[in-house]
Amino acid sequence: MTSATNSAATRVDPITAAVVAGTLESIADEMAHKLTRMSYSSIIRESEDFGCALLDGQGRQLAESTLSTPLQSGPIPGYVRGVLRRFEELGGAIEPGDVIMHNHSYYGASHGPDVGLIVPVFFAGELVGYSVTTAHHLDIGALSPGSCGIVDAPDAYSEGLQINAIKVYEGGRRNEWVWRMLTDNIRASGLVVGDMEAQIAAARIGASRFLELIERFGLATVQDASEDLLDYSERMLRRRIAELPDGTYEAEGFVDGFLDNPDPRYSKLRVAAAVTVRGEEIHVDLSGTDPQVDLPINMPFVGTVDIAVYVVLRSILLDSAVNEHVPANSGLYRPIHISAPPGTLANPTYPAPVIARFCPGNVLAATIMRALASVMPEQVSAGTGNLKVVAYSGLRDDGSYWVYMDITEGSYGGRHRKDGLDAVDTLYANTRNNPIEDIESHYPLRVERYELRENAAGAGRWRGGQGSIRDIRFLADGGFSMEGDGNVFAPPGLFDGLAGSTGDSRLNPDTDRDVPLPPMSPYRKAAAGDVLRTVSPCGGGYGDPLERDPAAVLADVLDGLVDAESARTGYGVVIDTDARRVDERATKELRAQRATA
Amino acid sequence: MDLIVGADVGGTFTDLVLYDPGSGSVGVHKTPAAGNPAETLVRGLTELCARAGVPAGDVDSLLHGTTIATNAILEHDGAVAAFVTTRGFRDVLHIGRHQRPQHYSVMQDIPWQARPLALRRHRKTVTERIGAPAGEVITPLDEEEMRGVARELRDEGVESVAVGFVNSYLNPAHEVRAREILAEELPEALITCSSELFPQFREFERFTTAAINAFVGPKVARYLVGLEEELTARDMRGRLHLMMSNGGTATVTAACEKPATLLMSGPAAGVLGGRWSGNRAGRSRLITFDMGGTSADIGIITEHGIVEAPARDTWVAGYPLLVPMLDLHTIGAGGGSVAYVDKGGAFRVGPRSAGARPGPACYGLGGDEPTVTDAHVVLGRIDPERFLGGEMVLRRERAEEVVDALGGRLGLGREEAAEGVITVANSNMAGAIRERTVQRGLDSRDFALVAFGGAGPLHAAEVAEILGVPEVVVPPYPGITSAMGLLTTDLRYDAMRTVFMLDSAFDFDRVGADFVTQTAELRERLREDGVAEEDITVSRALDCRYVGQGYELRVAVGDEKLDEAGLREVVEEFHRAHEREYGHCFRGDPVEIVNLRTTAVGRTPKMDDFRGPEPTSVADARLGEGTGLFRIDGRLEEVPVRFFDRLRLPAGAAIPGAAVIFQQDTTVLVPPSWTAEPDEAANLVLKRSSDR
């Protein structure tokens, strides 16, 4: 590939390019709008754990919806490549009127529960694009109810149905037999199949809008404008990479893993990243990452590892709060190269299980951000806190399943001139929580606490974000499973900031039935009255806490986020609690003393 | 004499319109905003009456659109507010939906974390709990604890308190009792209950709405009380009604109770003004398009009325807001929008704006970036001598310089670059309109575009062309259409509550009783406002969804108590609405009724007749001729352009494009293949003359 940095040679005039680019994004947004509103399960409609994208005839992503989560839209080109590979291997071709369902983790899918539905776009008999939606489904027929916390799956087969390039509509005709098999093998199949139908409807709308665009401008113009658009995003990323000093920057991160497993290979797993910047390209080498294991914490190389890398690099290099809007398309992948030795957590060999790959992937993203901290100190945060995801389930009186998936949050570390974000999804995840009032109206669950942690964020000139505490009580007998991380390794501080704090998970806290739970907890039964508590980690601090503005420390004390004792020990700030103000002189003395100590 | 005045207070100007129902005559006045908005308004009103030669005391009704609440939230300049909630949920306002507003950003700020409506120190919890879905009391409100909290807040000096308890939308008893205790301990404070505002589920959004109410409330009350005093002091004792986000008006008392319903006051009036003009032109399906210096507001009107926003898609200044409001969409495209080439070589127009100062380069006030207005000047679509009725002479050479520089970066000539600026801006606006129409199942080809604001009529025909909209209506005074809209309003109050009921287990008696209660409360309120019984109309609706879905669609229901047959009709209409909106429906799937809604409208005197200024003849209206550059079938062509004076054009005079029609507060562009014709109602109607 030739360098595009300094030449902006384009195929169409800039005005047409702007119009086509805007239309493509608006089509993807319309797909998302329809999908969220038509879908049934809260994981899509409330948590927005879905993706929508338009691809060109070569399977390159041209646009993704702004509503959706990066871990869903990003993998979409990989799904299409996986489908094409499968057709090459076994025979098969994409025909008009087809709708292809796909979720195979070793054929580009992010993991089994994230089912892709692909509608090909034909113009004058030629395959000119793909309109694709992905979404996390509540259940995909794995060994225990729900689609998260399947942490005891020994292999890919036990993770649920492996749907590898299956035509659920063929030439416009619905393949009833496949749908019957899905319905028979999936729990809460009414919801899940309804969501799949909504995905198809949304993908079809995208396809027909894409055709309208082609009819309006002509195929050649749309294709040329698409090439320009890919080049543009690529160029924007290359410009930023070129500003970084050449070199190799390394970091390592750790995943809690299976803490209750006596075999040490299953816990405290290492993710290693060496990020090499050369000119306007980046190479990410994950050598040194621990070997794969036969429990589902391995990460699909395509669909999880690549997306974690792309998302974190663009979030710091092309941070949308700081930079121009850059269209999210496949052009952004071009300057980035990734390698990981086969047989490791970051490049597992089939049929190693991968379903609970979310947490290690986010650790990988954090590790890459950390590797680049020394050369991009103003664009990164100190250590981020990871998430926990819980599947709650039970049987109704009529024998049908209810399944509810609760995604908790993490927190960001402190940032240049800013404290960390409190209690949010981090890095490559960006879902939404489910309203408590929605949960309580529809499931036999009651949320009893949802608050920030106190006195736990990493101290720093800019402190880490606060994690959260969430308590959910079963009102009827049922069960739950959990996948999570962050109970062992506190998010590290940066530039003399202190580490944040670890998270926690336990059953029936503050009672005599208190049971600590490992963050990777396979399905277990729960009785009415049981309470599950999840505590998310607090982010690390950024910069020396002794340099924090005393007024900011005072505000935290008044807000109950830091107590006066921690203000003194952590920040060297003396608060006169009665007067609700900083004791300036005592603070000066204490800080001077601490600085020389 | 029952004079009616509409007063729309905006950021730069206060627009006033005086209507005399006796003669049908209208007087208009524009006064620059300066200092205290109440004083500006009263000064403008005095000037307006003096010009019209009527005593200000004869103004019977003053209808007022205000940005006071909007600015308080945009500038984060509100009250010291507190939030009282259920034990265990102190930080719902802060955690929100735990989603970052931007996917790809480490350095972003989250509005509710960076700019809290109630600081954590003022967020208190009390022991209490309501259950769901039955709304039963699980833990009674600890009144002693509540009183302790109230005293703490008093000692902390808060001015305003919001109360939001989990599940209070199902049972407001605890919030009501908390309010009583707070009122006893903090008699001066504004107290807002989340369940009294609008009892809908989704705690973060409902709590935030209550907190916004608490945050903006004291400022709104001070302003309105001050305004009433000013008016009284000048012997202006007519009714004062405020424009609300829902497209109706409210009395000062009602507005002070629910100030969060004022946040879209300004743009809502614009939609009403657009509807008034469109209806007078005989059209009922309308897209209102109000384009000013920095942004464009879009509203949609169908034969069923103005489209209202779905309950959970409404945001103000980055905060969610669950109040009934018109479905208004604002995009960053205006005359001042800056055109530039970004670092990657892409051509962009807006959303950054040069504002009023320095403004477009052609203002000659130091602006050195090309804007949409500069592009119009280069293309000869704005006459530099006639801008704002000649109040400001534009500098063409400055516009040419900056557009040349832009063209240089794009490899385009001066005119091509200028036309490109307009094309990209038009495409952005058409995209925003498409999002509200085609994407919602409304075919834009069945609509007319009503174009107003300073820049709307310059862009309308070309935007309509992109959307396949066949007609554009330009109101008589495009620059003050919002103020005119105020003269067409009625008092309107809304009530709603979440019920969660399956169509198979519908509680007819409970729904019937709830509707009766809502109706009685709203009627009583209108009677208190002095509305006669025969002037009150009440409408009811149910928000429905398929069981499991998270978004509802609204279905209107009649006055009578629902029965089995009525419910079947509601469900059938819901299927149809779903099909219209999403192109898909699931007949046979169970339907959940989520919210009951009642709206009561109290008719108030309004502008029912209107006489525009006396026209003369086409010959007299003709101002001259030049050339202009237009995109025809994708290619740029130079064509002759004729210039006219709008006010002198008689009704029925068809003006074929290309033409530019000037008037004091705007310029109307008639592209080639469009024809403009003034109608009997003083609108200028643009039609596409040839189908392509």
State the 10-residue block means of pLDDT for chain B, 692 residues long: 87 86 86 82 92 90 93 93 98 97 96 97 98 95 98 97 97 97 97 93 96 97 94 88 95 94 93 95 96 91 89 84 91 92 86 85 93 93 76 89 94 92 93 85 91 94 93 94 94 90 93 95 93 95 87 90 94 92 82 94 87 83 87 84 92 92 90 94 90 46
Categorize the per-residue pLDDT at A331 as very low, low, confident or very high, splitting at 50, 70 and 90.
Answer: very high
Provide, as residue numbers in chain B, all residues whose Cβ is less than 8 Å from the Cβ of A430: 99-100, 103
Rg (CA), chain A: 25
pLDDT of residue A8: 60
Rounded CA separation B608/B175 (Å): 44
Spatial contact of B338 and B428, defined as CB atoms under 8 Å apart: no
B108 to A34: CB separation less than 8 angstroms, yes or no: no
Structural domain of residue B176, as residue ranges? 77-214
In three state form, how does the secondary structure of A524-557 look? EEECCCCEEEEECCECCCECCHHHCCHHHHHHHH
B107 to A437: CB separation less than 8 angstroms, yes or no: no
DSSP state, B444? G
Nearest Cα to Cα of residue B168 among B134, B143, B199: B199
pLDDT of residue A99: 98
Provide, as residue numbers in chain B, all residues whose Cβ is less than 8 Å from the Cβ of A194: 546, 548, 586, 589
A437 to B92: CB separation less than 8 angstroms, yes or no: no
- Nearest chain B Cα distance for residue A13, angstroms: 9
**Would B553 be classed as within a structural domain?**
yes
Nearest Cα to Cα of residue B173 among B217, B135, B202: B135
**Would B117 be classed as within a structural domain?**
yes
Closest partner residue to B202 among A416, A438, A471, by Cβ? Answer: A438
Nearest Cα to Cα of residue B358 among B366, B349, B350: B366
**Would B524 be classed as within a structural domain?**
yes
* pTM across the whole model: 0.94
A316 to B106: CB separation less than 8 angstroms, yes or no: yes
Residue A561 CA, chain-centre distance (Å), reads: 27
**Would B331 be classed as within a structural domain?**
no
A307-318 tens-digit pLDDT: 999 999 999 999
Rounded CA separation A295/A265 (Å): 11
Rounded CA separation B669/B449 (Å): 14
A425 to B95: CB separation less than 8 angstroms, yes or no: no
ipTM score of complex: 0.95
pLDDT of residue B294: 85
**Would B543 be classed as within a structural domain?**
yes
The residue from B197, B214, B231 where one domain ends is: B214
User: Is the pLDDT assigned to residue A208 strictly greater than 80?
Assistant: yes
A37 to B121: CB separation less than 8 angstroms, yes or no: no
Show Cβ contacts of residue B265 under 8 Å, excluding neighbours closer than 6 positions: B65, B66, B67, B69, B70, B242, B243, B244, B245
Q: Letter for the amino acid at A489?
A: F
**Would B141 be classed as within a structural domain?**
yes
Spatial contact of A305 and A368, defined as CB atoms under 8 Å apart: no
Nearest Cα to Cα of residue B542 among B580, B573, B588, B519: B573
Query: Taking residues A52-71, what's their average pLDDT?
Result: 93
CB atoms within 10 A of CB A237: 26
Provide, as residue numbers in chain B, all residues whose Cβ is less than 8 Å from the Cβ of A410: none
pLDDT of residue B473: 98
* CATH number reported for the structural domain that contains residue B532 in this entry: 3.30.1490
Rounded CA separation A22/A31 (Å): 15
Spatial contact of B250 and B243, defined as CB atoms under 8 Å apart: no
Mean pLDDT for all residues in chain A: 95
**Would B552 be classed as within a structural domain?**
yes
User: To 5 degrees, how large is the angle CA A513–CA A514–CA A516?
Assistant: 140
Q: Letter for the amino acid at B75?
A: E
- Chain B residue with CA closest to A468: the answer is B95
A15 to B420: CB separation less than 8 angstroms, yes or no: yes
Chain B contact for A254 (CB, 8 A cutoff):
no
pLDDT of residue B1: 57
pLDDT of residue A190: 86
Where would I find the beta strands (DSSP E) of B581-673? 591-602, 622-632, 635-645, 655-656, 659-663, 666-670
The residue from B161, B180, B214 where one domain ends is: B214
Nearest Cα to Cα of residue A23 among A288, A283, A217: A217
Rounded CA separation B282/B451 (Å): 15
pLDDT of residue A2: 36
Provide, as residue numbers in chain A, all residues whose Cβ is less than 8 Å from the Cβ of B110: 421, 424
Residue A526 CA, chain-centre distance (Å), reads: 28
- Helices assigned H by DSSP within B448-559: 456-467, 481-486, 508-528
In three state form, how does the secondary structure of A178-238 look? HHHHHHHHCCCHHHHHHHHHHHHHHHHHHHHHHHHHHHHHCHHHHHHHHHHHHHHHHHHHH
pLDDT of residue B252: 95
The residue from B150, B180, B214 where one domain ends is: B214
Using alpha carbons, list the distances in angstroms from residue A298 to A301, A481, B467: 9, 18, 49
**In percent, how much of chain A has pLDDT > 90?**
88
pLDDT of residue A42: 80
Query: Taking residues A525-550, what's their average pLDDT?
Result: 98
Count of structural domains, chain B: 2
pLDDT of residue B311: 67
Please give the full DSSP string across A294-355, using - where no structure is assigned: SSTT---IIIIIHHHHHHHHHHHHS-TTTS-----SGGGGTTEEEE--TTBTTB--TT---T
pLDDT of residue B389: 65
Nearest Cα to Cα of residue B259 among B423, B50, B117: B117
The first and second tokens of residue A292, run together, are: 């794969």
B91 to A451: CB separation less than 8 angstroms, yes or no: yes
The helix/strand/coil state of B227 is helix
Using alpha carbons, list the distances in angstroms from residue A166 to A194, B19, B443: 18, 68, 35
pLDDT of residue B223: 96
B102 to A320: CB separation less than 8 angstroms, yes or no: yes
Query: Taking residues A48-58, what's their average pLDDT?
Result: 95
Using alpha carbons, list the distances in angstroms from residue A294 to A299, A399, B272: 12, 33, 65
pLDDT of residue A1: 35
Closest partner residue to B582 among A66, A201, A322, by Cβ? Answer: A201
Using alpha carbons, list the distances in angstroms from residue B468 to A290, B84, B283, B446, B464: 59, 52, 16, 9, 6
Chain B contact for A193 (CB, 8 A cutoff):
no
Chain B contact for A42 (CB, 8 A cutoff):
yes
Rounded CA separation B345/A7 (Å): 9
Closest partner residue to B103 among A10, A23, A70, by Cβ? Answer: A70
The residue ranking higher by pLDDT, B521 or A69, is B521
Tokens 């009674």 found at: B140
A417-431 tens-digit pLDDT: 999 999 999 999 899
Nearest Cα to Cα of residue B258 among B309, B199, B305, B315: B199
B103 to A468: CB separation less than 8 angstroms, yes or no: no
Show Cβ contacts of residue B75 under 8 Å, excluding neighbours closer than 6 positions: none
pLDDT of residue B25: 84
pLDDT of residue B388: 67
A235-279 tens-digit pLDDT: 999 999 999 999 999 999 999 999 999 999 999 999 999 999 999
Spatial contact of A305 and A347, defined as CB atoms under 8 Å apart: yes
Please give the full DSSP string across A417-429, using - where no structure is assigned: TBPPPPSB--TT-
Provide, as residue numbers in chain A, all residues whose Cβ is less than 8 Å from the Cβ of B342: 324
B435 to A29: CB separation less than 8 angstroms, yes or no: yes
